[in-house]
């Protein structure tokens, strides 16, 4: 894989090494996280639409909640570009609240599915996975 060389190289460098961040790297990084989020949501969508066995339903919700938190962290550096509008940072309070709500709601669904069964969460999936409502405001489509 393309990052293997970087990993080998960096195994010799402490992870906490101080350095200046390249803007392209910051944009690429949050892009990876969004891709992961998108792929997990697409996989979950296939379960919810009964195309695929539901074995991983809780694991997808867990992954989405975890990745939403990663994503918010990845936006902390103010670097407009990629598909992110400057509005992300101009309206940081709203943006971060939406992302935190997304993380919290999906984590809550995972918990509910654990305790009450998977059927108990299907109806709330739509409002929890409100990707579009944020993308409409904060994303420039490529």
Q: Which positions lie near a second copy, rule CB under 8 A?
A: 1-4, 6-11, 13-17, 19, 21-22, 25-26, 28-29, 32-33, 35-36, 38-57, 59-60, 62-63, 66-67, 69-70, 73-74, 77, 118-119, 122-123, 125-126, 129, 131-132, 135
Contact 72, 100 (CB under 8 A): yes
Smallest gap, in angstroms, from Cβ of residue 33 to a second copy?
A: 6
Smallest gap, in angstroms, from Cβ of residue 126 to a second copy?
A: 5
96 vs 118, beta carbon nearer a second copy: 118
Please state, in angstroms and rounded to a whole number, the distance separating the CA atoms of residues 92 and 39.
25
Contact 37, 64 (CB under 8 A): yes
Burial class (CB in 10 A: 0-12, 13-18, 19+), 131: middle
Instruction: Quickly list H helices, the chain.
Output: 4-10, 23-48, 57-74, 87-90, 92-116, 125-128, 131-138
Smallest gap, in angstroms, from Cβ of residue 65 to a second copy?
A: 10
70 vs 96, beta carbon nearer a second copy: 70
Smallest gap, in angstroms, from Cβ of residue 47 to a second copy?
A: 6
């Amino acid at each position: 894989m393309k990052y293997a060389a970087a990993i080998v190289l960096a195994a010799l460098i402490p992870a906490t090494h101080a350095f200046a961040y390249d803007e392209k790297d910051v944009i690429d990084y949050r892009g990876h996280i969004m891709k992961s989020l998108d792929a997990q949501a697409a996989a979950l969508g296939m379960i919810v639409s009964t195309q695929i066995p539901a074995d991983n339903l809780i694991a997808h919700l867990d992954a989405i909640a975890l990745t939403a938190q990663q994503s918010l962290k990845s936006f902390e550096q103010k670097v407009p570009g990629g598909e992110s509008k400057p509005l992300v940072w101009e309206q940081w309070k709203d943006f971060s609240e939406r992302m935190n709500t997304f993380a919290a709601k999906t984590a809550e669904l995972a918990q509910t599915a654990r305790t009450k069964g998977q059927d108990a969460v299907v109806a709330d999936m739509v409002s929890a996975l409100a990707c579009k409502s944020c993308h409409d405001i904060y994303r420039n489509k490529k």
